Structure 1
Amino acid sequence: MTTTPPATRPPSAATAPHPPADGPTVIGLDCGTPNPGTADHLLHRLADLLPLPQGSYACTHRAPAPRPHIALSLRLPDTTTAEAVLDRLAAGAAAVPGLSAVLGDRRLGPPARRGTAAAAADAHATRTGGRAVLFPGSDTLTGTLTLRELLARTAITRTEVLGGVTPDPDAVLDTRGHVRPEWADGELLLRLMPASGGTYLPFEIPDPHPCCTDHP
């Protein structure tokens, strides 16, 4: 007698796996940006000027000594879109002085910064590093919401309190208008810290002197 295997339920929006990014969809960038606040501002500017389509990600990456600074990466929905965005960068659409860009085998800009741009692209493509400034659903993260809603509305796949504790999904998050998850072990992780009344805050504190008041 044959048996029919039980039907499997498709994953929910909160837990559905996100398809991995392949190298040719991720552009690494470096223009020697000095700090995360300035890098955030630049990513918002690029998103507006290029522009970046829906489904894109924009991340920052700490570049190492001897001159520590912030590199950037852009992940586009597909290779064709990534090539078109790189073409617009090459044509000066964003007019960023000293910008190096790397997409697969293509290289633009000053050679001295191409290595850090390539490293940023690799970290983002492999989901092993990168602090996400723009990601699907990031524009909805204002005010307060539950962690369950956070996972359902955005590309964030996991939340964690310092110490590795997984919080109650029905706990409330006060976004403070500043949510910066990071790629870690293949997941987009938002680190949290406890606040009053059993609520949580994103671990990264907003810059008290933001360089751009138009973007959180």
Structure 2
Amino acid sequence: MKIVIADDHAVVRSGFSMILNYQPDMEVVATAADGLEAYAMVARHRPDVLLMDLSMPPGESGLIATGKISSEFPDTKIIILTMYDDEDYLFHVLKNGAAGYVLKNAPDDELLSAIRTVHSGGTYIHPQMATSLVREFIKKDSERAEQDLFNGLSQREVEILPLIAKGFGNKEIAEKLYVSVKTVEAHKAKIMEKLNLKSRPELVEYALKKKLLDF
């Protein structure tokens, strides 16, 4: 497989080139010192895999270059090489089209495994970062579920929910909205049912989380 290495440190490019060229199934066809040069090398050689450093001043950053290259050369699989075990970096590069995320201090075997994995169509994420990705996915899934429940409320229920959370009684709410107390009670029951809430403290917590209270 043909590989391009993009890193602003010459010693890093040389070191990785030696490791990869020693493999019978890999060949480093070009190296680059910044994002612009990486783009040019990919356009010229159409490599199977691009190893991309995120921070490459001066010139274009690895993150911007990753987005451009993944969009224009989808057959080139991009693996991010970085010192940052930061989940924000991970989410950004995955959204920008990267297929792998490897820390520079990872063992050589991990880098080789990552290259072969993405070349075969898979995704490789450094193990400790994979945990962050799963945690964020679960969080986002939970937020989407909550939003779906909230969207199921009627306009009147959306008006009543924060009033209940602020501590207004059924009679006070009825007077504010010019409806009967029984109507308020019915809406309150519907709100609790639709949002899967069991008590008023849970409703208050929900309203705070959704930023429905403007104290």
Larger radius of gyration: 2
Higher relative contact order (CA 8 A, sep 6+): 1
Asked if TM exceeds 0.5, the reply is no
**Structure holding more helix per residue:** 2
TM range (shorter): under 0.3
When you count strand as a share of all residues, which structure comes out higher? Answer: 1
TM-score by length of 1: 0.24
